[in-house]
Structure 1
């Protein structure tokens, strides 16, 4: 059964990888063309456009992964059925329940990968993309002191009072 599992997993993972790569390439190209419109404005260069488009790939991966898994798996299983390999596996003792359990395990692995990318990689990439865009536009000081002010006016029995609180901190990039 290890050979059957290895055959199915290798073929399905390769197909899913190919479909995901094709979709991501298409989305990268579309994002890059969109970002190239801003080259020359506000300090944007071609390098910044390429980097910004690359930093959007994890979010596209997160959005496209379920579709890529579906299309890749269907493509792989259809190819196995067309070359009669799936029929040979069924004749050799691979029951429908076992085939379904093999696919379910692979589905859980793809779901875990999608979860990790969506919850950890995408937010970090989006923060980096915002930092790259603001650095290119000159709107972010690196290594300086930053902070926020909270200002509020309140009426008291003695009259109007102003409160100002400085929440300064040092950021390092």
Structure 2
């Protein structure tokens, strides 16, 4: 690494650290005011609130990282420009493209880190923070220890099985009052109704089971009598607890009230699409827009580098506060365009890939064009 690269990185990383910390504190404060009523209603102690925001930090970082990087870049570049350091470098034969390499490297690292956060940690921490926020709900406390989801329906379209679950434990994967129905090759229908079920060694085991068989085209009285058994293992049920949990998240995503609580990883979306090869138009638009959004959002960190270069590297003695004002304007414009684009994609008015990638492509193209003119 050249001496100039180390200098540029040092001058960027210092304000970047301050911006990350400052924006994180701001977002936590903003969220605390929004959730204060819920904390007061359940009488949450200070320790629980602190732990809630420790768990929620990865989710907040996914929003804070691009904004902090943009502000730090504009601040650093404006400072360099104000002291004519960029002019001196360019006069020494260093192109603006070469000057931007360490910044682009930081953008790529931030993009990969943001992708890892979204895929590996954020879905889990969102569920954990949601559990803290709703821990005192009486409807779930009567079911036993752990986190419970009541009244769940789950359809495996590929295998043709319908699951109706009275309550599902998100931690132990225990089921209360499961009811599974599917069609056999001879067109007869089979149903299992049990008191509870557990996942053991990769196999669903049902307890206190009643089994019903309904013959195709026959009269009701011709159907065999239901059989009853204490324990029944059904290895052919390939549905995994993770797939059932993804179904819960998808249902939240479809609800206006709980949509903001749903955070899906790319693998969870793919699992759902495998089980539901034939989706309605609305579900297709919603899920594929979410999928492309998860792929596109991390690269926002690289986009902000491309858009910050021409704004921050413009020649002239300008105040560093110009960089702050520019970052506010750019962030506002980008987020408005992003929300509008995703709304159009979710409603099916534009293709999902275009809805997710259009803001990134547009701002990248504008940044590259303005950088080329600045040369």
Q: Does structure 2 retain, via aligned residues, the 8 Å contact 1:56–1:126?
A: yes
Partner of residue 87, structure 1: 87
| Equivalent-residue separation in structure 2 for 1:39 and 1:100 (angstroms) | 46
Q: Indicate conservation of the 8 Å contact 2:52/2:129, yes or no.
A: yes
- Alpha carbons of 1:50 and 1:34: their partners in 2 closer, same or farther (altered >3 Å)? farther
* Matching residue of 2:111: 111
Partner residue of 2:178 out of 150, 155, 173:
150
Q: Which runs of 5+ in 1 are unaligned?
A: 155-159
TM-score, structure 1 length as denominator?
A: 0.76
Deviations 1:89-130 (A, max 9, x none): 223332222113332222111211211222222123223213
User: Could you tell me whether the CA contact under 8 Å between 2:62 and 2:118 is conserved in 1?
Assistant: yes
Relative distance call for 1:107 and 1:69 in structure 2 (3 A) is same
Aligned to 2:28: 28
Contact kept? 1:16, 1:68, Cα under 8 Å:
yes
> Where does structure 2 lack aligned partners over 5 or more consecutive residues?
147-170, 183-188, 201-375
> Which residue is 1:157 aligned to?
none
Give the C-alpha shift of residue 26 in structure 1.
0.7
CA 1:75–1:23 in structure 2 vs 1: closer, same or farther (change >3 Å)?
same
Quote how far apart the aligned CAs of 1:40 are: 4.7
Aligned match of 2:193 in 143, 164, 169? 164
Task: Give the Cα–Cα distance (whole angstroms) in 1 for the partners of residues 17 and 5 of structure 2.
Answer: 18
Residues 28-72 of structure 1: per-residue CA shift (max 9 Å, x gap): 112223333234533522222222233222212102222221221
The equivalent residue for 1:125 is 125
Structure that is richer in helix per residue: 1
Aligned residues: 165
Q: Greater RCO between the two (CA within 8 Å, min separation 6)?
A: 1
How many angstroms apart in 2 are the aligned matches of 1:153 and 1:91? 75
Alignment partners' CA distance in 2, 1:41 and 1:82: 52
Partner SS for 1:37: helix
Which range moved further: 47-56 or 110-119? 47-56
Q: If the length of structure 2 is used for normalisation, what is the TM-score?
A: 0.39
Q: Say if 2:42 and 2:136, in contact at 8 Å, map to a contact too.
A: yes
Instruction: Provide the rounded CA distance (Å) in 2 between the counterparts of 1:22 and 1:141.
Output: 38
**Corresponding residue for residue 45 of structure 1:** 45
